[in-house]
């Protein structure tokens, strides 16, 4: 059962890496915008995420993209996206690949 949840979580992470902020050429997962992915026993997913700035003009579009793509993962019944601003996002939350892509290394 635990292997199934790990596989599902890996699939969700994989699909989240296809979601981009239109203004930044790095996916939201590598940017460090995904804080938590929880999957309950009924395969409902809750994702806590943030944005690089609270007034992101593409926030609604990105959150809907996250929801739709997460729900497209096989076996997932629903996805609920929580927009959070604690902790506040900073550049240290990005992966090394993201920093390299953005010329920060």
- 54 close to 85: Cβ distance less than 8 angstroms: yes
Per-residue pLDDT reduced to its tens digit, 32-83: 999 999 999 999 999 999 999 888 889 999 999 999 999 999 999 999 999 9
Q: What whole-number distance in Å separates Cα of residue 37 and Cα of residue 44?
A: 10
Q: What whole-number distance in Å separates Cα of residue 71 and Cα of residue 69?
A: 5
List the alpha helices (DSSP H) in 17-84: 59-71
Helix crossing, 2-16 with 59-71: angle to 10°? Answer: 140
- Mean local confidence (pLDDT), 15-35: 95
- DSSP run (H or E) holding 96: helix 96-101
- Mean local confidence (pLDDT), 2-21: 91
pLDDT of residue 4: 81
Residue 1 has pLDDT above 80, yes or no: no
User: How high is the mean pLDDT of the chain?
Assistant: 94
């Amino acid at each position: 059962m635990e292997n199934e949840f790990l596989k599902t979580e890996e699939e969700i992470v994989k699909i989240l890496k296809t979601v981009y902020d239109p203004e930044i050429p790095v996916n939201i997962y590598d940017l460090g915008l995904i804080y938590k992915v929880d999957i309950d026993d009924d395969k409902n997913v809750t994702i806590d995420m943030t944005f690089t700035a609270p007034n992101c003009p593409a926030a609604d579009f990105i959150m809907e993209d996250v929801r739709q793509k997460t729900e497209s993962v096989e076996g997932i019944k629903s996805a609920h996206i929580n927009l959070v601003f604690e902790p506040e996002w900073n550049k240290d939350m990005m992966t090394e690949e993201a920093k390299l892509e953005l010329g920060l290394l």
